[in-house]
Amino acid sequence: MMSKNANFIFPNWNAPPNVHAVMTTRIQAHPPRPPSKGGEDNCFDNFNLATHVGDDLEAVLENRQWLKTALNLPAEPFWLEQIHSNIVVEASAELILPKADASFSHQKDVVCVVMTADCLPILMCSKDGSHIAAIHAGWRGLENGIITNTVAALKTTDLIVWLGAAIGVERFEVGDEVRDAFLKKSANYATAFKKNGSNWLVDIYQLARIELASLGITQVFGGEFCTMTDAERFYSYRRENQTGRMATLIWRSS
């Protein structure tokens, strides 16, 4: 069941009961923070979870602690230094903030997480609940095969996928070079682009679905949000430039 309460979005997908998943929003999760310096409204609101965007570090760490408590997480989330790559790593306590854009695990009580503010967060789990993964997918990562690399790391295509909140098709404008890059991969990607003056509107959800379909993965859920137009719930880099990040998490309990 998908919840649209103030703090979290829970995927509406048919994952097995031992798999847990959630996406945060920007809406305050605890008493409001004071205004930012200069008296303007705080551009990070109250639930930014990123340490690299210019927010007060103490406030971010407080938000992360609140997140762990509110969700009763079994461990500290496996945070990444996201670099718009196609690099996938196995979540491990031995790795501290690795440069990568996806993580996976075959172990219970390991929390994979990605942060976004327009890019597409993708969650994966195997149908038997034994494998999980979280992907940060901007257009560069999608073009360079971040989904394919993650599926290869999981060593199965018997997967269920949820597409979290990302920028919507009517707001994601790109140039010819982006469309050309995808069409070099496959002509099938043409269906994700719509002409808009001298540029193109691209459906980032459709880009993901096309690659998933090419891998034989058909159980794909989500993809109904737009981070840029829904300013109440979501951070958007394209809308605000300096802004916070939502987190999308997945873990298994057995």
DSSP letter string, 180-211:
HHHHHH-GGGGGGEEEETTEEEE-HHHHHHHH
Q: State how many domains the chain has.
A: 1
Residue 43 confidence class, pLDDT cut points 50, 70, 90: confident
When pLDDT is averaged across residues 24-31 and rounded to a whole number, the result is 78
CATH number of the domain that 114 lies in?
Answer: 3.60.140.10
Residues 199-225: what's their mean pLDDT? 98
User: Quick check: is 126 in a domain?
Assistant: yes
- The answer to whether residue 97 is domain-embedded is yes
Per-residue pLDDT, 46: 82
Residue 191 inside a domain? The answer is no
Task: Taking residues 32-49, report their average pLDDT.
Answer: 67
Residue 203, domain member (yes or no): no
pLDDT of residue 1: 34
Mean pLDDT of 220-227: 97
pLDDT above 80 for 39: no
Extract the tokens encoding 52.
């690299």
In a domain? residue 118? yes
Q: Which amino acid, one-letter code, is at 204?
A: I
- The pLDDT of residue 33 is 64
Per-residue pLDDT at 29: 60
Range of the domain at 71: 8-166+223-252
Residue 14 banded pLDDT, cuts 50, 70, 90: very high
Is the pLDDT at 118 greater than 70, yes or no?
yes
What residues contact 208, with CB distance under 8 A and at least 6 apart? 120, 122, 137, 142, 147, 163, 220, 223
**Would you say residue 35 has pLDDT above 70?**
no
Could you tell me what percentage of the chain is helix, strand and coil, using 3-state DSSP and rounding each to the nearest 5?
25, 25, 50
On whether residue 215 sits in a domain, the answer given is: no
In-domain check, residue 116: yes
Taking the C-alpha atoms of residue 93 and residue 64, their distance in angstroms, rounded to an integer, is 17
Q: What's the mean per-residue pLDDT of the chain? A: 93
CA distance 103 to 76: 14
The CA distance from 123 to 161, in Å, is 6
Query: 177: exposed, middle or buried (C-beta count within 10 Å: 0-12, 13-18, 19+)?
Result: exposed
- What pLDDT is recorded for position 2? 37
The rounded percent of the chain whose pLDDT value lies above 70 is 92
Model pLDDT, residue 7: 81
**Rounded Cα gap, residues 64 and 145, in angstroms:** 30
In a domain, 3, yes or no: no
What value does the mean pLDDT take over residues 105-130? Answer: 98
**What average pLDDT does this structure show over 86-106?**
96
- Give the Cα separation of 192 and 203 in Å (integer): 5
**pLDDT tens-digit map of 152-201:** 999 999 999 999 999 999 999 999 999 999 999 999 999 999 999 999 99
pLDDT at 25: 95
Position 44 confidence tier, pLDDT thresholds 50, 70, 90:
confident
